[in-house]
């Protein structure tokens, strides 16, 4: 299905080439659906070190697909501002094969637990493509963004009729610098590449990137598809909470352009 989708995008690019245009577009509202593969782990320390918990293996949190939204304001031929929002939730239920400790809560081996991870990502950024070759064929420049990552994690379970619940909340602000590359081989088709990141800080680190193709059959409408990678290692300032989250997979979407 993924191969078929991208094949259709290429065909559309050729068929609608003569109808598309970028003229006078100021705002673009894009909705996406992201098909992800999840790799995640957590640790919550108290007076002693907590358990390193693999969310897929230990708690059966599995892959989920979820929506994204993006608003882009084209402030000029070489610059744009954008705002992204991503929301995701993973749920699982598992009988523990090991004892896990989350601060002052201990869930013993054999306990049946229900777990939930809520994840939100908000990002605002500025793209300045100061290199413009061959009248828009290739555009390249910097990407500066600020993002806020919010994660809420909870585990609830019972063993021998004794139930308990642990819940943790983490909000981390991160700023980064990256690049933005666009290739426009012919009218109505845009190949885009974006990447940004930040080295390890008291709040953690992240690496982010995406590559895709946008087909613009008409001035006010586009179809987009590609591949995206997000890798977070987030900590609170006193280093007693750690959330590692890697999301990777293809996405597809539509946009309205004004």
Q: Please report, for the domain that includes residue 251, its CATH number.
A: 2.40.128.90
Full-model pTM = 0.84
Both tokens of residue 43?
A: 């640790």
Cβ(176)–Cβ(197) below 8 Å: yes
pLDDT at position 239, please? 63
pLDDT greater at residue 229 or residue 162: 229
What are the backbone angles phi and psi of residue 52, rounded to the nearest 5°? -75, 115
What distance in Å separates the CA atoms of residue 192 and residue 190, rounded to the nearest whole number?
Answer: 6
Q: Which domain holds residue 227?
A: 2-257
- Of 177, 173, 115, 184, residue with least CA distance to 147: 173
Q: How far is CA 24 from CA 46, 152, 231, 257, in A?
A: 56, 42, 36, 10
Rounded to an integer, the average pLDDT of 62-85 is: 92
pLDDT greater at residue 171 or residue 126: 126
Judged against a pLDDT cut of 90, whether residue 116 lies above it is answered with yes
Judged against a pLDDT cut of 70, whether residue 79 lies above it is answered with yes
pLDDT at position 253, please? 96
Indicate the number of domains in the chain: 1
What distance in Å separates the CA atoms of residue 211 and residue 158, rounded to the nearest whole number?
Answer: 45
> What whole-number percentage of the chain has pLDDT above 90?
59
pLDDT at position 11, please? 52
pLDDT at position 7, please? 53
pLDDT at position 23, please? 55
Q: pLDDT category, 6, cuts 50, 70, 90? A: very low
Phi-psi region of 91 (alpha: psi -120 to 50; beta: other; left: phi over 0): beta
Q: pLDDT category, 20, cuts 50, 70, 90? A: very low
């Amino acid at each position: 299905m993924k191969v078929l989708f991208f094949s259709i995008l290429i065909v559309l690019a050729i068929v609608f080439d003569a109808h598309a245009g970028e003229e006078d577009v100021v705002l673009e509202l894009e909705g996406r659906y992201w098909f992800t593969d999840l790799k995640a782990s957590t640790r919550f320390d108290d007076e002693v070190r907590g358990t390193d918990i693999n969310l897929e293996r230990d708690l059966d949190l599995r892959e989920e697909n979820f929506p994204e939204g993006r608003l882009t304001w084209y402030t000029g031929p070489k610059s744009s501002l954008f705002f992204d929002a991503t929301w995701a939730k993973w749920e699982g239920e598992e009988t523990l094969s090991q004892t896990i400790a989350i601060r002052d809560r201990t869930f013993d081996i054999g306990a049946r637990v229900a777990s939930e991870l809520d994840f939100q990502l908000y990002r605002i950024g500025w793209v300045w493509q100061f290199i413009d070759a061959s009248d828009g064929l290739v555009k390249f420049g910097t990407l500066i963004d600020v993002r806020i990552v919010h994660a809420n994690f909870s585990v609830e379970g019972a063993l021998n009729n004794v139930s308990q619940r642990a819940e943790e909340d983490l909000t981390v602000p991160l700023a980064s610098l990256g690049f933005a590359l666009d290739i426009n081989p012919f009218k109505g088709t845009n190949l885009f590449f974006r990447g940004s990141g930040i080295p390890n800080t008291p709040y953690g680190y992240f690496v982010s990137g995406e590559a895709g193709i946008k087909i613009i059959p008409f001035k006010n409408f586009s179809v987009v598809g590609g591949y995206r990678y997000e890798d977070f290692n987030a900590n609170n300032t006193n280093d007693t909470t750690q959330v590692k989250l890697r999301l990777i997979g293809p996405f597809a979407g539509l946009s309205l352009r004004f």
